[in-house]
Amino acid sequence: MTDDRKLAVLRAIVEDYVATEEPVGSKALVERHGLGVSPATVRNDMAVLEEEGFIHQPHTSAGRVPTDKGYRLFVDRLTTVKPMSAAEKRAISTFLDGAVDLDDVVQRSVRMLSQLTRQVAVVQYPTLSRSTVRHVELVALAPTRLLVVLILSTGRVEQRLVEVADPLGDDVLAALRTRIGRAVVGERIADAITALAALATAPGAVPDSLVTAIVDTLSDAMSDHRGDERVAVGGAANLARYGDSFDTSVRPLLEALEEHVVLLKLLGEASTGGTVTVRIGHEGPYAELSSTSVVATGYGPGDDALASLGIVGPTRMDYPGTMTAVRAVARYVSRILDEA
Q: What is the pTM of this model?
A: 0.78
pLDDT, position 56: 94
Q: What tens digit of pLDDT does each residue of 164-218 get?
A: 888 878 888 888 888 899 989 988 888 888 888 888 777 665 556 777 888 888 8
Measured in whole angstroms, the distance separating CA 193 from the mean position of its chain's CA atoms is 27
pLDDT, position 207: 58
CATH number assigned to the domain covering 86-125+230-339? 3.30.450.40
**CA dihedral defined by 204, 206, 207, 213, rounded to 10 degrees?**
-110
pLDDT, position 206: 59
Low-confidence winner among 10-24, 196-210, 224-238, 301-315 (lowest mean pLDDT): 196-210
Q: Which CATH fold would you assign to the domain 3-76?
A: Arc Repressor Mutant, subunit A (1.10.10)
- Residue spans of the domains in the chain: they are 3-76, 86-125+230-339, 131-226
Amino acid at 260: H
pLDDT, position 12: 93
Judge whether 3-76 and 131-226 match in fold: no
> 224: which DSSP letter?
-
Cα separation values, 26 from 9, 35, 72, 74, Å:
9, 10, 21, 18
pLDDT, position 216: 87
CATH number assigned to the domain covering 131-226? 3.30.390.60
pLDDT average, residue stretch 111-121: 93
- Reply yes or no on whether the pLDDT at 77 is more than 80: yes
